[in-house]
């Protein structure tokens, strides 16, 4: 295949990031900025492929999963908006590799082996979010490398590739969090959203950490009974586990039935019946969808329901962008239930 090469200077790339996150930018400026961002992101594909292939050769074995992805444009823009000091030139995860392993020991073995391998790339940063979990509950081991080639200078331009190494249990938590965020329109991955939802996932992260004999998330109970008690209380009130299960079932059914249908959906979760109904609206019916959604929202407490309005793109792109979600959601729910119901 023909790999994209960088066509813009460092200053042009930084400027493009500033323009795209500024709501006051003119449309002409935005289009020029998008062109620069698209090229800079696409140019990471070759360095990413090199590192991915190296990891794949080493860890293509049972129980290990190696994957790669270029960061989505929407995620790039949100990150620039969310972090004022961030600029596009130094964004470390435009290209990302993920290694999912069976055990904690495997995490550290992979990190150690890669750091001491014969790769020419330059280790820029290293984060251990397993021994020091984030307050959100996120746990993983990160290595950030600057791509370096002795034979071809084209990509020796601060091309940063992030390698995430995590256990399957840590992966279940991360994908469930992002799924919940997507379908409830909350930036849970960035620790923005409803307080109870964020707390629920932080508690489960501590539950999983205890299972792996690793440090728990800050500001969560230090005993497993306290963690389980709070998880059960929050789930009884908000039905998070039921919602995740219902989303998976409903999305599988809806995509099979209407994979090419464009428009909007209202997802209506009934807490007492533990099921999820979906109402479809064509793109031209957005006003009707909004009115219906507002009406449902106003009656949610009396009818013991929760609802969310999503565009069809959330269904159409979810399996393409996150194919693992559709097996991992149920695995996450099962893993939690197995622990809290003992």
d(CA 34, CA 20): 7
Based on the residue annotation, tell me whether 162 is a catalytic residue of this protein: yes
Across 48-79, b (16+ Cβ under 10 Å) vs e yields bbbbbebbbeebeeeebebebebbeeeebbbb
Strand 160-167, strand 95-101: pairing = parallel
| Set 81, 162, 254, 256: catalytic member | 162
d(CA 16, CA 185): 26
Active-site positions read 162
């Amino acid at each position: 295949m023909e790999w994209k090469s960088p066509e813009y200077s460092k200053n042009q790339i930084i400027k493009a990031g500033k323009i795209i996150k500024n709501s006051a930018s003119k449309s002409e400026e935005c289009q020029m900025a998008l062109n620069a961002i698209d090229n800079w992101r696409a140019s990471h594909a070759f360095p990413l492929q090199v590192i991915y292939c190296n990891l794949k050769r080493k860890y293509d074995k049972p129980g290990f999963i190696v994957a790669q992805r270029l960061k989505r444009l929407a995620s790039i823009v949100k990150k620039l908006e969310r972090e004022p000091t961030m600029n596009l030139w130094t964004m470390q995860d435009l290209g990302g590799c993920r290694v999912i392993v069976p055990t904690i020991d495997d995490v550290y073995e992979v990190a150690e082996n890669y750091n001491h391998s014969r790769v020419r790339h330059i280790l820029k940063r290293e984060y251990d979010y397993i021994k020091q979990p984030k307050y959100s509950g996120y746990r993983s081991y990160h290595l950030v490398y600057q791509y370096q080639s002795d034979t071809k200078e084209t990509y020796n331009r601060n091309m940063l590739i992030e390698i995430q190494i995590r256990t399957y249990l840590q992966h279940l938590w991360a994908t469930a969090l992002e799924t919940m965020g997507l379908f409830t329109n909350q930036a849970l991955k960035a620790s923005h959203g409803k307080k109870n939802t964020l707390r629920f996932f932080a508690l489960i992260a501590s539950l999983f950490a205890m299972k792996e004999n690793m440090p728990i998330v800050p500001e969560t109970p230090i005993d497993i009974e306290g963690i389980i008690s709070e998880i059960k209380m929050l789930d009884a009130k908000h039905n998070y586990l039921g919602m995740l299960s219902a989303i998976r079932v409903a999305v599988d059914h809806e995509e099979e039935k209407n994979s090419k249908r464009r428009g909007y959906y209202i997802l209506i979760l009934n807490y007492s019946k533990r099921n999820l109904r979906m109402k479809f609206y064509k793109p031209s019916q957005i006003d009707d969808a909004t009115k219906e959604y507002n009406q449902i929202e106003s009656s949610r407490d009396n009818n013991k329901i929760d609802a969310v309005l999503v565009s069809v793109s959330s269904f159409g792109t979810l399996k393409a962008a996150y194919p693992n979600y559709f097996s991992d959601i149920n695995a996450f729910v099962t893993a939690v239930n197995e622990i809290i119901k003992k």
